[in-house]
Structure 1
Amino acid sequence: ASSNAYTSDDRTVYHETFAKEDLDEIMRLEADRFQKLKFSEEQFKTEAGAVLGEYNKNSASPFFKMYEVMRETAFRKHTYSHTTMGYLEDIKDYPNQYTYSQQFFNRFYRPENTTIVIVGDINQAEVLAKVKKYWSDWKPGNYKQTIPVEPAQTETRSKHIDWSSATLPIVMVAYRAPAFSETEKDKAALDLLSAIAFGDNSELYQRLVIKEQKAVFISPDADNHIDPELFTVTAQVKDVKDLNYVRDEIVKTYKRFAAETIPQKQLEETRSRMRYGFSMAMNSNDAIAGTLARYVALRRSPETIDKSFALYDSITAEEIRQMAAKYFTDNSQTIITLATKK
C-alpha cells in the first residue's frame, strides 16, 4: 500500500492505493484518523520543521518565488493572496501553533467538508455498508468560514524580481479570471481559449518557441477554483534582451483573441482534443480517483465532470471572444518578471 496527501488553494486530498482485501482495514484507519486524530506537541513541532525544510527547498526555485509574488501582487484581500504553504515568517512560527492546529482540525475535519472517493474492483453496496459502519457517528461542526471578497482590480500591476543566482529570465502575465461554474460559460470559454491561444499548437508557441526560439516554453494556467482566480501565462526566455519582447507578444495574444473570433473548425478540434485527452488520462485507478477528487471538491458531485464537458460543447466562438474581451483588460492585468541580478 502507498499513502500520501496534498493541499491546493481549495482542497486537501488524502490518497491511498491498496489491495481490495484491505478495504475494511483502510476504512477503519481513515475513519479513526479523520474523527479522532491525536498528536503530541513534539510530533507537531517535528512536522513543522519538515514544512520549513520543504519551503527552503522550494524557495530555491525561481518559479516558486514568482508564483508567490504573483499571488500577493494580484490579490490584496482574498486568501488566494498567499500560497498554501504560507510565507516564511509564518512557517518559522509553526512550532508555536500547536493549539491552533488542534482548533483547525476541529473546525475543518468534519463530514460537511469531506467526500470519500473509492475507485477499483469493489461492490458499491459493500462499500456503502463500510462507510456507514465506520463513519456514521461523525458529527457535523458549527464553524462558519468567512473568506474576504477580493475587490475589483482597478489598475495594471507589475513587479520585477532580481534573482541572486544565474538563471534564465521568466515572465508571467496574468488577468483576473472567473470562478468555476457548472452553468455560467465564462470559465469554460476561457478553458477552451487557453489551449487555442497559448497551447503547444498555438501560433504564439510555434513562433516564439519553435521558429524564433526566443522562449524555452510557454505555458497557460487557468485551473478551476471555487472563487475568482487568475488566468496566467508563463514563459521562460532564453536571453534577457528578449524578455520584454516575449512579454509584449503574450499581451498582444491576449488582446488579439479579445478582438478576433476563433475559426469554427479550430474550436471543434480543440473540444475534441480536450475530451480525448481527458479520457486517455483516466488510465488507472489512481488517475480516475485523482480526477474525481478535483471535481468533487468543487461541487461535491462526480456529475460535475459531465456538466463541465456539456458546457464546453455549448460554447460558441463568439462567446469565447466576448469572455476574452470581458476579462483580459488592462485594469485586471498583473505582470511579474524575473532575471538574474546584474
Structure 2
Amino acid sequence: MIKRISLAAFTLLATYAGFAQQVEFTEYELDNGLDVILHQDNTAPVVTVGVMYHVGAKDEEEGRTGFAHFFEHLLFEGTENIDRGEWFNIVAANGGSNNANTTQDRTYYYETFPSNNLKLGLWMESERMLHPVINQIGVDTQNEVVKEEKRTRIDNAPYGKIIYSTGISPYMFEKHPYKNSVIGTMEDLDAAQLDEFKAFFDKYYGPNNATLVIAGDFEEEETKKWIKSYFASIPKGPEVERIDIKEEPITEEIVATEYDDNIQIPAKLYVYRTPSMKERDAYVLDMISSILTDGKSSRMYKKMVDEDKEALQVLAFPRSQEDYGMYVMGALAMGDTPLEQLGESMDEEIKKLQTELISEKEYQKLQNKFENRFVSSNSSVQGIAASLATYHMLYGDVDLINDEIKIYRSITREDIKEVANKYLKKNQRLNLDYLPTPESK
C-alpha cells in the first residue's frame, strides 16, 4: 500500500496553493540493531508508539502457514509482567487504543495514548519484545479466535476469496510464498506444536528485525533516554535470511473459475503479476487504476456502468508487496450480462491505454488527484507512525514520506502508455470467472 504524509487542517488548505508541509523525523539505531524513528509534533497531546517487525506470511515454512498472522493475536496474550488478558484493559484504562495488523511482508503493533502515557507505551512494547508468555493456553485460545476470523472474513464473506486473495494468489505464484494467504490454513495451525511457536518468535522477533516508531507529542531527548532504558538491553536476535525466490514469467493466459457460496452476482477478473512496490512502474500502475475506476468519471465506470449498463460495479487496483505485486481488474455483472462481454469491455479499455496517450486534460486531473491524496492522507500521528515504519522497512527510504509525490509528478503520459503495454498483456494474466456455486443460485 502507498503511504503519504499527514497534515494539519490549516496546512491542507495551504496545499491547494501548491504547498506541502515536511514531516520531520530523527532516525538512529541502537547497538542491538533496533531501528528507531522519531517524529515530534507537539500540536496535540497525543502520541503513537509502534513497532514493526520484518516478518510476514511469506516468511513461514511450508506446512506452517498462518504463523505471522497468528502472532498478531498471540502477542496480546500477556507477558511476564502483564497478566494474561490484561493488555487491552491497561491500554483502555490509560486513555489509549491499540491494534496490530499483518501482511505478506511485515507485522505491525501500535498503541496511541495521551502523551503523558508515552512511557507506558514504550514499556508495553518492550515487554512484548522481551518477555512474552507463549504457552499452550494462549495458543489454544488464539487458535479459536483466528478460526472465527477466517470464517467471518473469508469463508462466509461475499467475495472474501478475492478481497483476501485466497482465490487469486495460487494462480499467480508457483514458487514464491505469496501463493499462500496471510491467514494461512487451520490445518497447519492445528498441527503446529508449542515449541514451533516459540521458535518462530525467537527467529523473527529480535530488535535487529524491528523498527520502533514514535510520532506525536513528546520531547526528543527525554524520549531517547526512555528508549535506551527499555530497549537497549534486549538481546539481539539471529540474523534473518530474507526470502529470495524468483518466479518464472507468466507467458500464457491462465483461465480459471472459482466458486463462492456467499455471492449471487458473478464477476469477471483479470489479474496480472507486477513488480515490487519499490519499482517506479508500481507507481504508474497506481495511476492507471485511478484512470480506470477512480470515481464516476473514470473510464471503466463511465463506459461499463453508466453508458452500457453491463456492470453493476467495476474495480482496478494494484496489490503492492515487497517482492512482487499483483494488479487486479474486474467487474460485477449487471443482470444477465455474460462475463465474456465484461472481459471484452475491459480489454477495450486496456487497449486504449496501450495505443493512445491520455489527454492533457485527463492527465492534469490525474495529477491533481494524486496531489490531493498526498496532502490529505495520514491525517493523524497514528498514520504517520505507520508510514514512517513502512517506508523504512519495506522501501528502505524514510524520506519517501516527503518525496513520494515527486515520483508521481514525474510520471508522464508516455509512461502510462508504456507501462500498460509492459504489464497488462493477455498472455501474462489470470482470466478468472468468479461465480456463485450452482446450489446458491
**TM, length-normalised to structure 1:** 0.91
**What's 1:258 paired with?**
354
- State yes or no: 1:234 paired with 2:345: no
Closer/same/farther in 2, CA of residues 159 and 62 from structure 1, 3 Å limit: farther
Cα distance change on mapping 1:127 and 1:172 into 2, 3 Å: farther
In the alignment, structure 1 residue 156 sits paired with structure 2 residue 253: yes
Q: CA deviation at 1:255?
A: 2.8
Asked if 1:26 corresponds to 2:26, the answer is: no
Q: Is 1:189 the equivalent of 2:318?
A: no
Corresponding residue for residue 276 of structure 2: 179
- Three-state SS of the structure 2 residue aligned to 1:154 is coil
RMSD across aligned C-alpha pairs, in angstroms? Answer: 2.0
1:85 aligns with 2:183: yes
Distance 1:75 1:121, change over 3 A: same
1:4 is aligned with what amino acid?
Answer: N
User: Which digits, 9 at most, give the CA deviation of each residue in 1:32-66, with x for residues without a partner?
Assistant: 11122222112111111211111122211242223
Q: C-alpha displacement at 1:274, in angstroms?
A: 1.2
Cα distance in 1, alignment partners of residues 319 and 313 from structure 2: 19
Aligned to 1:46: 141
Helix, strand or coil: the match of 2:353? Answer: helix
User: Which of 112, 115, 129 does residue 225 from structure 2 map onto?
Assistant: 129
Structure 1 Cα separation of the partners of residues 313 and 238 of structure 2: 46
Is residue 36 of structure 1 aligned with residue 121 of structure 2?
no
Question: What secondary structure sits across from 1:37 in the alignment?
Answer: coil
Instruction: Supply the distance in 1 between the matched residues of 2:334 and 2:240 (Cα, whole angstroms).
Output: 50
CA drift of 1:165 comes to 5.1
SS at match of 2:327: strand
Mapping of residues 291-302 of structure 1, within 5 Å: 291-302=387-398
Contact 1:157–1:333 (8 Å) recurs in 2: yes
1:247 maps to which of 343, 347, 364: 343
Matched, 1:9 2:107: no
Unpaired runs of at least 5, structure 2: 1-95
* Amino acid corresponding to residue 253 of structure 2 in structure 1: T
SS in 1 for 2:435: strand
Find 1:202's aligned residue among 298, 318, 325.
Answer: 298
Whether the 8 Å CA contact 2:320–2:326 is kept in 1: the answer is no
Distance 2:263 2:423 in 1: 35
- Structure 1 alignment gaps of length 5 or more: none
Cα deviation digits, residues 45-96 of structure 1 (max 9, x gap): 1111211111122211242223212111111111111111113432443xx3
SS of equivalent residue, structure 1 residue 219: strand
How many Å separate the matches in 1 of 2:242 and 2:134? 24
Scaled by the length of structure 2, the TM-score of the pair is 0.72
Closer/same/farther in 2, CA of residues 164 and 212 from structure 1, 3 Å limit: same
The alignment status of 1:60 with 2:156, answered yes or no, reads yes
Q: What is the rounded CA distance, in whole Å, between the counterparts of 1:92 and 1:236 in structure 2? A: 36
* Count of residue pairs the alignment pairs up: 338
From the superposition, tell whether residues 113 and 331 of structure 1 become closer, same or farther in structure 2 (CA, over 3 Å).
farther
Counterpart in 1 of 2:367?
Answer: 271
Contact conserved, 1:173 with 1:334, CA < 8 A, in 2?
A: yes
Q: Distance in 2 between matches of 1:63 and 1:100?
A: 33
Q: Give a deviation string over 1:189-229, Cα, whole Å, max 9, x none.
A: 22212211232231211122233333232222214321121
For the structure 1 residues 215 and 91, does the alpha-carbon distance in structure 2 shift closer, same or farther, using more than 3 Å as the test?
farther
Letter in 2 for 1:321: K
Q: Give, as a single letter, the amino acid of the residue that structure 2 aligns with 1:21.
A: N
8 Å contact from structure 2 (residues 267, 433) kept in 1? yes
| 1:119-172 CA distance string (max 9 Å, x none) | 212222222222222111231422323342222112111211233355211222
One-letter amino acid of the structure 1 residue matched with residue 393 of structure 2? A
Q: In structure 2, what is the Cα distance between the partners aligned to 1:314 and 1:284?
A: 27
Structure with more helix by fraction: 1
- Percent identity of equivalent pairs: 25
Closer/same/farther in 2, CA of residues 125 and 268 from structure 1, 3 Å limit: farther
For 1:76, which of 174, 183, 192 is the aligned residue?
174
Q: Which amino acid aligns with 1:131?
A: I
**In the alignment, is the contact (CA less than 8 A) between 1:169 and 1:239 conserved in 2?**
no
Q: Deviation at 1:106?
A: 1.1
**291-300 or 262-271: bigger deviation:** 291-300
